Structure 1
């Protein structure tokens, strides 16, 4: 029997089998403690199943497994696991993981009450003060014998001779005075009538007395300037024949000038006569000038929807030259809205009828955000006055609100587009969309589309006009124009509008787009600083 056992161990197949059994037994001993058991294994499986994946560029995309974004083909990132929900979170709140909040750059701030001041931005040009501009005319018919002022831009002083005119009519009038002087004793009224005729032709009493004493008539009359200033227009040349009342020169006194600005109709309620205005010039960077609002045009330009605002300012040293581009800021305290809550514009999602902000829920471990409808007061440039809907200490989302709203739409909760909670966007079987389902339904479920069009313009006034024209189209939630690239970035609801309609609206406002050209009449009505066509 011992011999048989020994023979069996000598069999190589038996030896291989024993070595294999020993290896399996040792492996079981080493690794049996590291594998999940029972409830733990089931928990890991459930967590894997409940993991949600999204795109950092398109947060409206929700997938139940990793992969590529169906819109931009970027790698999806984990959003959150429903297994980590906080029981204290409001059921209507939108939950985001800490990683998703960081990737979406969601930022919050606590609101407080302030005394709001609206900064009104104005753009315009330096103009001649019309009250200090005068026409220099000829008092007689005749011929220009000599021009003492020969070019536009020349400086003249009051009383300076600017032209000499030969006039046969003047010669006859002087001869009448000489003849009437011979009858001074018998016809004094005749002499006085002859003198008055010469006075109407701007001869001084000294010149008239000289004619009476010398008894000689001079057919030439000197035309003298009636104002100090700069020649802005020269209408005659030496040797020209002129009539009485012909305008020889236009002379403007530039010791005071106007800064003439265009103000949008929405800004007019915050401007009034007497406001102090600080303005800068492109031609003189780094220096600030000041003036006072003296007139606001009561008529609105129907093409540009602006009204002229006149600011008077002294012009010492003649540094301010007519035609220079100017930009001004008027700080208008809104006393009727004192002690009201003021929030940044970036916090507000505006649907045209409703204004929405998202508030961070306090006392939760997982970031959670609640929708809140508010009533807005006047715009303060980069912020809004809030009339109702917020309380002191509320922590609102100031950056990334659109990302949170996209999550609310997909989860079927209240959002910009949904006034009441509905059903989350799902695939055909009611599950989170995956693969081809996400590709075919992504944009429709999000309710928003991104686009970019080219719009021509030259200044900040163009930027305001282009963005306002785009936002006037129903369905546009965001419009931002880049001055350097001429690109207009858009977010809009494709169910209400499209990029083509927005481009048409921008063109109607006077700015050429890549598909539509602005009407010439509308373009010509734009301020000079906005004229982009060569």
Structure 2
């Protein structure tokens, strides 16, 4: 009975289908289980190979976001600031021609940063010097009108400053008791000329010294009439620039009545900074213009260079003589000039734009584009600067003819170098990992350097490029100041100095003494008045 029951269940179709399904599941498990083991084995081998390759060929470098010169092989803390180190992102292009210390940038990044390059060449440099000054009276054509006798001014024929006079024109009448006495002595001497001829000659000479003419003396001798009044005549033609007396004043012999200047010739007097003096010499041709006569150009040669510098403005006076037949050039008119000085001692030298140079205070740095590379790469280069040509500089060493340099965007490239931990304007020694005791020693060294140097900012008043030059030079003249840079827009003077040698207070005093107000010190009025017109910053 039981056997029949089992046989009946075995012949049932659902039972057969179930056995087939279980057999299929078992076979699938056997097949895929084997493949999985093989796959895991392959993955294990691949991972080990990859791990070995990674550690064998390219170790991960860790750096500090605040101190990119720190480069370590393991994560940890920065030895300088104790911040967590971050992995250094490398962007190798695979171009073996690229120097490992260079900064690589894609063409898209160069376009976005507006980085521009220029190929340098040799040329004969010409320095453009800008000078500012005023029209002045030719001192050789100025004369003082003095009284030759003592007395009282009875009448003035010239009554105001600026009046034009001619030579020989009466300018004043003087009542003089001494003159009256001398005329009476002349009449008495004439009566005794046969007995004492020498006395007559002495009295005549006395009157001549009082500027009486021989005709006037002869008239007194013949007429026997005397007068206490005498006319003072102009001894030159020109313009009255100073009136020192009024009608009714009592004067002595030698009293200056008027100052008269002949304006047929005038001087254009300019202020030249001491840094520009080596490039100026007597005889140089220059052109100058005046604000009051726009579009008109005057030309002349330098006739005199003052050998003494002004101790306040640090400038020397440069003089140019100019004819003024029409009188259109008036004293105290503002004028500006351009001088193109040929620097013959620097002929056939390399000249680069000013925008290509980065200054650190001690070093001058440029970025040179590497040649023959698929990816644009730029190398830092330290150069020695020659004289400034205004918008460019002469290069004495550090650069070769035909090299391509960055003329716009050098700061962006330098920032990339700093972030990459490579040599830059602020990081003179870079390119190697700093580990262990070396890192801690570097931290102590940097702290020592920081202790010896400080950075400060001062608010300094000024208006133009002349102000900028004067402010920076006065700050740098203080012993202990390593660098000074004044921003025309923000009016801030950035300083790097040694606090063991000087202080911000001393630097402020030096800048104020040069003619520019600071937050704590005001320049005196006389120094401020001596500044050129374009530098008058007070309202």
Alignment partner of 1:456 out of 455, 461, 464 = 461
1:291 is matched with 300
The structure-2 alpha-carbon separation of the partners of 1:522 and 1:248, relative to structure 1 and needing over 3 Å to count, comes to closer
Asked whether the 8 Å contact 2:267–2:321 carries over to 1, the reply is yes
Residue 168 (str. 1) matches residue 177 (str. 2): yes
1:465 is matched with 470
What number of residue pairs does the alignment pair up? 464
Tell me whether 191-200 or 406-415 shows the greater mean CA deviation.
406-415
2:97 is matched with 88
Question: How many Å separate the matches in 2 of 1:229 and 1:99?
Answer: 71
Question: How many Å separate the matches in 2 of 1:500 and 1:144?
Answer: 57
1:404 is matched with 413
2:229 is matched with 220
1:123 is matched with 132
Aligned-pair Cα RMSD in Å: 4.3
Asked whether the 8 Å contact 1:409–1:424 carries over to 2, the reply is no
2:83 is matched with none
Deviations 1:429-456 (A, max 9, x none): x9xxxxxxxxxxxxxxxxxx99986532
User: Aligned ranges for residues 31-430 of structure 1 at < 5 Å?
Assistant: 82=91, 84-423=93-432
2:531 is matched with 526
Asked whether the 8 Å contact 2:137–2:267 carries over to 1, the reply is yes
TM-score, normalised to structure 2's length?
0.74
Deviations 1:474-518 (A, max 9, x none): 888784543xx5634859799999999986764453212456534
Asked whether the 8 Å contact 1:117–1:333 carries over to 2, the reply is yes
Asked whether the 8 Å contact 1:141–1:242 carries over to 2, the reply is yes
Distance apart, 1:152 and its partner CA: 0.5
Distance apart, 1:175 and its partner CA: 1.3
Q: Secondary structure at the match of 1:194?
A: helix
Question: How many Å separate the matches in 2 of 1:234 and 1:346?
Answer: 55
Question: How many Å separate the matches in 2 of 1:301 and 1:478?
Answer: 22
Q: Secondary structure at the match of 1:329?
A: strand
User: Aligned ranges for residues 470-485 of structure 1 at < 5 Å?
Assistant: 479=485, 481-482=487-488
Asked whether the 8 Å contact 1:350–1:477 carries over to 2, the reply is no
Unaligned runs of 5+ in 2: 1-11, 15-45, 51-59, 61-67, 69-88, 440-453
Question: How many Å separate the matches in 2 of 1:495 and 1:82?
Answer: 42
TM-score, normalised to structure 1's length?
0.75
Question: How many Å separate the matches in 1 of 2:298 and 2:114?
Answer: 40
Asked whether the 8 Å contact 1:470–1:479 carries over to 2, the reply is no
Asked whether the 8 Å contact 2:187–2:220 carries over to 1, the reply is yes
2:491 is matched with 487
Distance apart, 1:528 and its partner CA: 5.5
Q: Secondary structure at the match of 1:179?
A: helix
Tell me whether 232-241 or 258-267 shows the greater mean CA deviation.
258-267
Asked whether the 8 Å contact 2:125–2:347 carries over to 1, the reply is yes
Q: Secondary structure at the match of 1:287?
A: strand
Q: Secondary structure at the match of 1:221?
A: strand
Question: How many Å separate the matches in 2 of 1:319 and 1:486?
Answer: 40
The structure-2 alpha-carbon separation of the partners of 1:242 and 1:470, relative to structure 1 and needing over 3 Å to count, comes to closer
Q: Secondary structure at the match of 1:216?
A: coil
Question: How many Å separate the matches in 2 of 1:371 and 1:531?
Answer: 41
Question: How many Å separate the matches in 2 of 1:462 and 1:130?
Answer: 30
Asked whether the 8 Å contact 1:164–1:223 carries over to 2, the reply is yes
The structure-2 alpha-carbon separation of the partners of 1:380 and 1:425, relative to structure 1 and needing over 3 Å to count, comes to farther
